[in-house]
Structures are given as C-alpha cells and as structure tokens.
Amino acid sequence: MLSHIHEKFDNFSVNINPDDNYRIITFRDDIFDIGGRLLDPVCRNPTNENSVSDELLRLHFPGEPVFETDFPPGSDMVGEIRNGPDATKRMAAELFTRLGG
C-alpha cells in the first residue's frame, strides 16, 4: 500500500471490505479516487507473505461486528489476541473499536 494511502487506512479514512469483493471504501474526501475500487488480488493472496488477512480487514472495517461480547467463563481474549496473528494490529483495532477511538 502506498504510504499516503496507508496513512488514510491507519486513521480509518479508508477501509477495505473483505466481504464485498475487497471493495475499497472511503469515509472522507476521496482525493486519490480509490473509493469503489477493488483491492488488487496480489494483496489478498494468502501465499504471499505481504498479503493482508481478511480477519485484520474485518477488525478495521467499522460497523461490522468484530468479536462477540459475551465470552464464556474462563476465556482469555487478550491472550488469544497476543498469541494470534498480527497481535499488535489486532489489539490496536480492538481497543480503538471498544474505546470509541
């Protein structure tokens, strides 16, 4: 992702919906004319080490349920995040979502 687009992604001005054919969604002025385009297949190829995971895209996409809120007794959500893929990014997205960013 180009750095200027990545910055927009980091501040939630641009998102990608993996459940809508990886459609790029813009939430502010679309000065780069990327809204409505589809993420390049190379970026979502699971065999490419630089690809983005669908889970991370879902975490980042607003308005979609991220995780269930009633966890079974004894579950360790933080531990699961810490030991899972993209732990730092996933934790940041979870905190942003739950604390209202």
Q: Does the predicted TM-score (pTM) go above 0.75?
A: no
Which residues span the domain enclosing 91? 3-99
40 Cβ neighbours under 8 A, 6+ residues apart: none
The total domain count for the chain is 1
Position 9, amino acid:
F
Q: What is the pLDDT of residues 15-30, one digit of tens each?
A: 999 889 999 988 888 8
Q: What is the pLDDT of residues 45-89, one digit of tens each?
A: 888 888 888 888 888 876 544 455 556 777 888 888 889 888 888
Q: How many whole angstroms separate alpha carbon 55 and alpha carbon 46?
A: 12
Containing H/E element for 32? Answer: none
Instruction: Kindly report the length of the chain.
Output: 101
